[in-house]
Amino acid sequence: MCYKLYNILFKSHLLANGLNIATFSFPSMTSKNNLIEQLEKIGVIGLAISTLLYLCSYNVVLYRYYSQIVCGSYPYLRKCNMSEENDITNHIRTAVEQIMENEDPVEYILNEHQKLHIGDKEIAKTLLVSIGVQSALNSEGIQPKVNGASGKGKTHCCKAMKHLMPPEWIIETMLSDKVIYRMQLNSGVVIFCDDADLSPSLEGTIKRATTNFQAETIFTTLDKEHKVKSLPIPPHIVWWLTSIDDDQSLQLLNRQLSAGVDETPDQDRRVLEHQIDQALTGKMAFPETEEVRICREIIRTIKQKEFVVKIPFAKDIEWTNESNRRNFPLFCDIMAGFAIFRFKQRKLDETGALLADLKDFISAAELYNKRAKNQQLKITNKEEELLAAIKELNGRATYEDLCKKLRVGSSRISHLLNGKGGNHDSGLLYKVPGLSTEQDGKKTMVIFDGSYEEGNYEVKLRGV
């Protein structure tokens, strides 16, 4: 009887506060002590007073005043009424409109990202344009690959951007080989796989899905009744992959935009200062703020749109390295990603296509040129350090020399040179022209003529 009374009072209290009783479940109470404990937690006197006031049709303001006094220690049981909630929503929408029409939504989101994660702004830009270009109907997609040493922030950088995304548009998970086909994903979802160690089968799935960016990727199998069944991965899927090195095959790396975390001592100091500030102030790592909600709403607005993006000045882009045929379309997709985030400030042509402008080119060039050589040769920051070390040693070095120079073990040098596991085409010996090894007695000599640096990889625009 007492439990029934408790149930009625509690549900009346919820209804009075505009809460849905269907979202609450009541644990069974098998002892008097347990019941008393639960009633003490809720504040049964406060519930009774609140319910009586509600049933007697007292003024709502008086009711809320009473509830806050008696049950004020349990604010999580209360909820703003619908008009208050609508006011908050309208306020966010007004802010979003202001930013998208008169400011730079890209910079707004990046600035909020920097409050959560110190540095690595180029990685944040890469993640952001990969989201934007999902709304382009003539894009091949941007697939970010974030690499860096353990504990240097690659995961945290991605999680910070994930926090600024609407949760319905990103999935953080590890995958078995074919489960992706059974997940019934929506088109345009981001899949975030941290410390990805991909099996050959899963890597093949990702390669096919990225190649089919504008279409479904179908896997045909048999169901339990041995009938043929087709399972789709929807179009416009973006994969955020992180790992210490670019251990994937060269075929997959060619489909990705690689970015390395900042591992410098200056970055270590800045991160420590941020961590000290968090400790002093009690700041949460990923707080739910109004600015975060604005970022999510900006991205939601983008997700509701689809565009054909045109580059009116494409013939004026100076592209000097033509050997990798994927990189120019990738650069155009970066421009498209920036243009889509700024679509409210961009023109449409007579066919309804969105026209990228000079600002989008400058943003794309700033991002791409910092990684142009790495993107052309598919090398990471650590691999570039190894090549620089060999050059400093007059183009010939033993494993022992390189271990001392880079302060790593011989197995790490072998990994960088030869790749990991069966992916030998992910090693420097495969990727970099002019790099080779030879035996000098019992020692392995690494030889590098430096010819890979002869190319000009930067993108420019004529007349700018």
Give residue 136's pLDDT.
97
Give the pTM.
0.74
Give residue 187's pLDDT.
94
- Tell me if 263 sits within 8 A of 150, measured CB to CB: no
- Tell me if 314 sits within 8 A of 332, measured CB to CB: yes
Which pair of tokens denotes residue 370?
């910092």
- Tell me if 312 sits within 8 A of 342, measured CB to CB: no
Distance CA 423, CA 353 (A): 41
The architecture that CATH gives domain 96-303 is 3-Layer(aba) Sandwich (3.40)
Q: 238-255 pLDDT, tens per residue?
A: 999 998 766 666 566 667
- Tell me if 164 sits within 8 A of 154, measured CB to CB: no
- Tell me if 79 sits within 8 A of 19, measured CB to CB: yes
- Closest of 400, 421, 424 to residue 410, by C-alpha: 400
Distance CA 299, CA 131 (A): 8
Distance CA 452, CA 326 (A): 19
Phi, psi of 378 (to 5 degrees): 60, 45
- Closest of 203, 246, 198, 195 to residue 374, by C-alpha: 246
Give residue 195's pLDDT.
79
Using 70 as the pLDDT threshold, list the residues of the chain that sit under it: 1-88, 245-254, 421-425, 451-455
Phi, psi of 143 (to 5 degrees): -115, 100
Q: 402-425 pLDDT, tens per residue?
A: 998 888 888 888 888 887 765 666
Distance CA 365, CA 351 (A): 27
343: Cβ–Cβ under 8 A, 6 or more apart, which residues?
100, 302, 305, 307, 354
CATH 3.40.50.300, the chain: domain bounds: 96-303
Give residue 97's pLDDT.
96
259: Cβ–Cβ under 8 A, 6 or more apart, which residues?
122, 123, 126, 144, 145, 146, 147, 371
- Closest of 181, 243, 167 to residue 212, by C-alpha: 181
Give residue 247's pLDDT.
61
Looking only at Cα atoms, what is the longest distance across the chain?
A: 97
DSSP string, 394-459: TTEEEHHHHHHHHT--HHHHHHHHH-BTTBGGGSHHHHSTTEEEEEETTEEEEEE--GGGGS----
Distance CA 435, CA 387 (A): 9
Angle of helix 121-132 relative to helix 105-116, nearest 10 degrees?
130
Give residue 419's pLDDT.
78
- Burial (CB count within 10 angstroms: exposed 0-12, middle 13-18, buried 19+), residue 11: middle
Give residue 47's pLDDT.
54
CATH 1.10.10.10, the chain: domain bounds: 379-454
The CATH class of 379-454 is mainly alpha
Which pair of tokens denotes residue 76?
């999580």
- Burial (CB count within 10 angstroms: exposed 0-12, middle 13-18, buried 19+), residue 37: exposed
55: Cβ–Cβ under 8 A, 6 or more apart, which residues?
12
User: How many CB atoms are closer than 10 A to CB 328?
Assistant: 15
- Tell me if 250 sits within 8 A of 207, measured CB to CB: no
